[in-house]
Homo-oligomer: A and B are copies of this chain.
Amino acid sequence: MAHSAGAFVPGHVTGFFSAHPDDDPTIAGSRGAGVTVDEGVVVRLEPGDGLELNGEPATIEAVDRVLGALRATAHVAVETDLPLGAGFGVSGAAALGTALATNAVFARALSENELVTIAHGAEVQAGTGLGDVVGQARGGFPIRLEPGAPAHGAMDGLPDRRSIEYVNFGELSTAEILTGDTEELTAAGTRALSTLVAEPSVETFMEVSRRFAREADLLTSPVEEAIRAVSEAGGEAAMAMLGETVFALDDGLSAAGYDAERCEVNLTGAHLR
C-alpha cells in the first residue's frame, strides 16, 4: 500500500448538452461536447480523514461518495486555480482524482473504466454534473455521443489543439438547472449534437454551443455581451455549461478587450501524478 498518491484531472467546460436522467447513476448522463483544459484539479490523498479545498476544510459530496464506494477512509487535499461553480467541473474532477488516488493508495486494483464509473456515478448522485467526469477522463475536445459511464456511454473527440481563454462573471447552480424543466434544453442539445457529428470541427462546436445557450435560454447579460464582443472582434466564443463563464478560442476574449485567463487544451485526460 502506497503511503500517498496524487492525481491530476483537467478542467472540462461543456459547450452544449442534453440531460438523460436514469435511476441507475451509471446509465444517467448527458450527450454533448466540451473542451478540457490544462488548468485542472490536483488531488493528494493518504489514509486519514477530512477534505481540504485549496487549504480550507470543505465538503464535496461526490468525493465522499467515491470514498464510500471504494470503502476507504482518507484525507483528501484538493487544489485548483479554476473558479468554483463556473462550469469547469471542479467537483467531478475532485471525484475522479479521488478515485484514481484511492485505487493507488489502497491497492484496489480497479481499471480506468471502473474508476471513471465510480466517479461518474458519485457525481450524478450528488447532482453536481452529468458529463464532466467522462470528458475529463478522455481529455481533448470530448464528444459524449451516448450518455453514461464507460460501459453504457460512447465517446468521440475533435482532433484539434487550441489555446482557450475564459472569463468568469459569477456562479450558476448546476443542481438547480438540472432539477428544473430540461425539455427545451435537451431538444436544443440534441440538435447541436447532430450538427456537430455531421461536421466535427472546433468551429462547428463553437457555433452550435453559442446557439444552444440562446435556445436553452441560459444566457445572462454579461455572458451575452462578452460573446457578442468576441464575435465583433472576429473571434469565436460560447458559454460554459453551467457557469456564468464565457470561453473563447485562441485570444478571442483578450482581443475583445477582456482580462481573460488563458490555457491550452489538455491532451492527457485524468492521470496519476
Contact = CB atoms under 8 A, between A and B. Distances in A.
Per CB-CB distance, the 3 closest pairs between chain A and chain B, nearest first, are: A112-B157, A111-B200, A267-B268
A267 B174 CA distance: 30
Contacts of A1: none
A113 B156 contact: yes
Interface residues of A, number: 31
B109 A199 contact: yes
A160 interface: yes
A159 B139 CA distance: 15
Given A140-B271, A267-B268, A268-B268, A110 B200 contact: yes
B271 A157 contact: no
B157 A111 contact: yes
Contacts of A200: 109-111, 114
A111 B143 CA distance: 9
Given A111-B157, A139-B269, 19 more contacts: A104-B159, A109-B200, A109-B204, A110-B159, A110-B200, A111-B143, A111-B156, A111-B158, A111-B159, A111-B197, A111-B200, A112-B159, A113-B157, A140-B271, A150-B156, A160-B272, A267-B268, A267-B269, A267-B271
A95 interface: no
A271 B109 contact: no
A161 interface: yes
A115 interface: yes
Interface string A152-183: 00001111110000000000000000000000
